[in-house]
Structure 1
Amino acid sequence: MENTPTNKELYRKDQWVKPFLKKYKGLLYLALFLGFLTFFSAGALMFNSGYLISRAASLPENILMIYIPIVLTRAFGISRPVFRYIERLVSHNWVLKMTSDLRLKLYLVLEKDAIFFKSKYQTGDILGLLSEDINHLQNLYLRTIFPTVIAWLLYIFIIIGLGLFSWWFGLCMLLMLGVVVFLLPLVSVLVNGAKQEKQKVSKNELYKKLTDNILGVSDWVFSQRGHEFVHSYEKDEAKLRELDEQIKRFNRFRDFVLQVIFGGITIAILAWASMRFPGNHGGAANWIAAFVLTVFPLIDAFAPLPDAAQETNIYKDSIKRLNDLPEISETVKVTDLEVKNTEIVIDDISFSYDQAEHTVLEHLTLKIEPKEKLAILGRSGSGKSTLASLIRGDLRPSKGTITLGDVPMTDFGDQITQSISVIHQAPYLFRTSILNNIRLGREEASEEEVWQVLDSVGLKEMIQELPEGLQTMVDEAGLRFSGGERHRLALARILLQDTPIVLLDEPTTGLDPITEQQLLNTFFETLKDKTIIWITHHLQGVHMMDRVIFIEDGRLEMSGTPEELLATNQHYQQLYAIDRGMTTD
């Protein structure tokens, strides 16, 4: 089982929170000081108000005897909201500066390794990093660090202040307030920490289950088991709600205990003040109300501490995930790579995803000659799509190398688009004109060049018949076009891009056999002067290839021309017969 770092270890090794505490320490100290002054003013306001009320009620011999409390009451009454307002401005300014730097640092970390990021992290991790983790750190400062430090400063100030009047009562308050400042937050972390971990796991599982089943909703519908999924999901959701309710119940009980403790502190101060300032009316007795009323505004300073401590469990994952990112390395200027030839050499590569239990590709060696037409066959999960990603440079091999013209694929970065272009299963068309969609292949292409590639893919006449021609707007995802037409538009982009290598990643999946064959004829006719790497799962059109390889469980099982394999390889003969609906002996 993976060892989970403790909060102490996590914050000790942290490189995402501590550096910014030092960078903007001036603003940080000012925000904390203003926060302290806000609660000090609130307490002083009630202290002076209590004294003023008592003193005025005792009929002072001279109005000047209550003039100073009146002035102080007005002063602290004004200073409290002023300090509060300024503190909010300073603290939020500090946090915005910090989060801006955090986002820049996150971008610099991810941008350098962007195309390989998804191979290391799940989609949920990516979304969490980009949309949640920085916000969590922002809340860490505003809702945990600031309130906690301010409360500690007030705690020290109160104990020292009371100790000047009475050392033994100062010790009593040290213990009673210590329960609020230290014990209740600790209990909250211990009790609700485990429940929050369960809550987090349950939410992640629920999200994963929901997204997986929504993506596969057609399977549930066709199998008529939709109600089974809904029942299962509602059952898991009910468990999560029960867990939420347990956390809320504890929080309500803890808040009740907190109020009881402050009630006890108020009674204790009342009793101590009565003994410390004896008298029936007037004189020293006027200080009793001053000390007692000071308790109430200070409740607002100490009450958030248990919640603040408890929320550290939420921030822990964000901090850990950010600290697990690679360090920012010095930017290296990328020079234009010179590709001497288009030979692709795959030398003894193996590959496995970080969280996979098995190797996807294992000791695979292959050479693809310039202008060769290669078909890569294999069942779903055999590793052929992973091989395509490795050839594009989107993934790095765990072992071995892949080179294009003696240059490692991973060195190309964005320059790989100058050498390899791709047509996917479902080419995407954007909500803009047909002209702009095709010019994605080469932005500076003229309209004449666009018409030429449209003619090559057999769409020129159809586009000319549209009322607005090339300026015709395309619906989102290109839904106004058939599957074959979308693929032809994608091919037009590729022809405009004019790369020496084209990777076809199962582009005919979902098309009827006639449209599929027509599209394949168009592909191979228009791309006859280029290297073609065709990822496919069946054999229609494979006779037009120079070579066919078959990948099974990550290994190269067969390789040869279609004619050779059909004549000599029993496995290929079986695949050929099955693909055409023929029976085999």
Structure 2
Amino acid sequence: MKKNYLLLSKEDNWVRPFFKKYKWLLALVLFLGFLTFFAASALMFTSGYLISKSAARPENILMVYVPIVLTRAFGIARPTLRYVERLGSHNWVLKMTSDIRLKLYQAMETRAVKSKSEYQTGNILGILAEDVEHIQNLYLRTIFPAIVALILYSVIVIVLGVFSVPLALLIALLLGVIIFLLPLTAVLVNNARVYRQKAKRHVLYNQLTDAVLGVGDWQYSGRYQEFLNGYNESESLVRDEDKEMNRYSRFESLGKQVIFGLIVIIMFVWAGNYFGKTGEVIYLNWIAAFVLAFFPLIDAFAPISDSVKELPLYEDTVQRLSQLPDTTPPVSKVDDEEEEIIKGSEIIFKEVDFRYNEQSKQLLQNFNLTVSEGEVVAVLGKSGVGKTTLSKLLRGDLLPESGSITIGGIESSELGEEQSEVMGVLNQSPHIFNTTMRNNIRLGNLKATEEDIEEAAHQAGLAPVIEKLPLGLDTVVEEGGKRFSGGEQQRIALARILLQDTPIIIIDEPTIGLDPMTEKQLLETVFEVLKGKTVLWITHHLVGTHYANRIIFLEDGQISMDGSPKTLLEENTKFKELYQLDLYE
């Protein structure tokens, strides 16, 4: 097991990198943790001496003045150091987990489509709620306290060794049971139980998210109670595991209290013998000081075994996070001055094979397509034939099993952050944010001037809409663009693309759900303002394809028809039949 933890620690690229990044803050946190318990122990030490000294009726107050000052100083230092230590430790952990969450979001976004196919929503929630949260608790409740306890353990043994080596060895043995033996036993006893508990919690996340997303279907089918019964049964299994772990924790806590009680008795007997041999009252004052100094240390040593038993979860957490896509950005040929840069906007699919997984059908097989610079290509085909997949491959959201996809001679997957400077996307459901229309358009280019924004809005055909708004472009719109019609939302998205000013535009069925008149007007505007750009147009309608220079039909992973609209209409019987059917739908 130890070997596994060491191996995982070396393979961990989710937590270890942040040790180096925040190493000085980490060192400060550990030092403050040690000082906190030192101040607490010193407070009890000086208090014990002060009480004993005062009980002996000193000749004047000056005889106990120093212990009084030290008691006040350590009394103030203890909560102050504790507060600063908590601030520092939480600051370190929150910085780290913030970076981890950012890395997690980047990992999921890197292959957004693949993530949706491989990870259930509940599974992703499990990673966010269980794994990242566990890393946070691991350091706050396990790593930091354990390191501080080891430092205190070493200091205590060394200090007691100055007075008595046998005593130091005996205390080292008893404290070692609490620091080493009990935590190891806790891990061995609860190892399988902790894994089962976490697995059952992930089952709950999946069940709950599936049910919430489909709550209407549960109700309409009359099986709502069936879901509740199943969920309650799963939840009771988790509670049963909690009960077993809590039962063990109670017995373990009793054992720790017995050991601490034994340490206090040993210290009392030793101090009585050590300081009582002289028979002088001045030495007897140290008895209470040494005994009381151990009481605050219970808080340092007792929590270790309670938190260490969750260490097996760290192994599982690292494994789950390591399975996520690597967020290391690919080396971009655009960024490397010694490498070839993008030349033009020609798109080439060369012998591309793709399917989503081994069980799914082959969407593209030995697929070849060249889109010349400035060409508008309409891609048609039946639902599920791979039209949208083609655009996702071009964007790099998906990677082909074999073959290559290049833009201006550069692999599309290697564009990295440069992708936004090369490609713009007008999709079916552009998101409209709950801010001003101006800010919604500005998303296309944050550095755009006010004149650029107004020009883009005008070109996108938004002038009549803006004139009706109370504050024009500065009118705050509703979340999701509810204030606008579907066509108006698409025009806002089009204005963003115009502001983005990329050489390649992907249009993915933007007219779905629009009435014929709005669809016609939108397409006229789109292809008017996109003249000269390379356009890959995913569409389900043949009517309107006269805007394209070329039409291709996808079928069985290949291009079954290819040609200009005029040529296909004149020479291809099948195309002519499909066109007539589409015209009179």
Is 1:486 matched with 2:489? yes
Deviations 1:284-340 (A, max 9, x none): 766554443333222122122123423544555666677775668999983799765
Report the alpha carbon displacement of residue 180 of structure 1 after superposing the two structures with TM. Answer: 0.8
CA distances 1:431-463 after superposition (whole Å, capped 9, x unpaired): 3444554455563445773464244xxx54454
Aligned to 1:116: 110
In structure 1, what is the Cα distance between the partners aligned to 2:273 and 2:442?
A: 88
Task: Give the alignment partner of residue 449 of structure 1, picking from 455, 459, 462.
Answer: 455
TM score, norm. by length of structure 2: 0.76
Residue-by-residue CA offset, 1:131-188 (whole Å, 9 max, x unaligned)? 9988766655544333222322332333344455554444433322211111222233
What is the one-letter code of the residue matched to 2:234?
A: D
Residue of structure 2 in register with 1:259 after alignment: 257
Aligned equivalent of 1:371? 375
Partner of 1:391: 394
Match among 558, 561, 575 for residue 559 of structure 1: 561
Secondary structure class of the residue paired with 1:481: coil
Residue 408 of structure 2: aligned partner: 405
SS of 2:511's equivalent in the other structure is coil
Q: Aligned equivalents of 2:36 and 2:442: distance in 1?
A: 60
Distance 1:230 1:537, change over 3 A: farther
**Residues 53 and 64, structure 2, Cα contact 8 Å, conserved in 1:** no
Q: How much identity, in percent, do the aligned residues show?
A: 41
1:6 partner SS: helix
Counterparts of 2:96 and 2:289, CA distance in 1: 46
CA distance in 2, matches of 1:364, 1:247: 57
Alignment of 1:478-517 (within 5 A): 478-494=481-497, 499-511=502-514
What is residue 151 of structure 1 aligned with on the other side? 149
TM-score by length of 1: 0.76
Counterpart amino acid of 2:551? Answer: R
Is 1:301 aligned to residue 300 of structure 2?
yes
Report how far residue 479 of structure 1 moved: 0.4
8 A Cα contact 1:504 1:535, kept in partner: yes
Which residues in structure 2 correspond to 1:73-222 (within 5 Å)?
A: 74-79=69-74, 81-82=76-77, 85-86=80-81, 89=84, 92-93=87-88, 96=91, 116=110, 118=112, 140-217=138-215, 219-220=217-218
Measured against aligned partners, the alpha-carbon deviations of 1:109-141 in whole angstroms (never above 9, x if no partner) come to: 998x99635467658898899999887666555
The one-letter amino acid paired with 1:11 is: S
Query: Conserved in 1, the CA contact under 8 Å of 2:381 and 2:555?
Result: yes
- Cα distance in structure 2, aligned partners of 1:379 and 1:5: 51
Please give the secondary structure, in 2, of the residue aligned with 1:150.
helix
Equivalents in 2 of 1:170, 1:130: separation in Å? 45
- The letter of the residue matching 1:487 is Q
> Hey, what's the Cα distance between the residues in 1 that align with 2:268 and 2:178?
19
Q: How far is 1:475 from its partner?
A: 1.7
Aligned AA (1:371):
E
Structure 2 unmatched runs, 5+: none
Structure 1 runs not aligned, ≥5 long? none
CA distance in 2, matches of 1:375, 1:22: 50
1:71 maps to amino acid: V
- CA drift at 1:388: 0.9
Alpha-carbon shift at residue 23 of structure 1 (Å): 7.4
Q: Indicate the SS of the match to 2:293.
A: helix
Query: 422-431 vs 198-207, which deviates more?
Result: 198-207
Which stretch shows the higher mean deviation, 303-312 or 472-481?
Answer: 303-312
CA distance in 1, matches of 2:537, 2:2: 44
Q: Which moved more, 1:162-171 or 1:416-425?
A: 162-171
C-alpha distance in 2 between matches for 1:52 and 1:417: 72
Local SS of the residue matching 1:149: helix
Superimposed CA distance per residue, residues 77-108 of structure 1 (whole angstroms, 9 cap, x where no aligned partner): 52354266347547855874787588679979
Alignment of 1:412-423 (within 5 A): 412-423=415-426
* Alpha-carbon distance between aligned partners in 2 of 1:63 and 1:308, rounded to the nearest angstrom: 50
Distance change (3 Å), C-alpha of 1:298 and 1:580: same
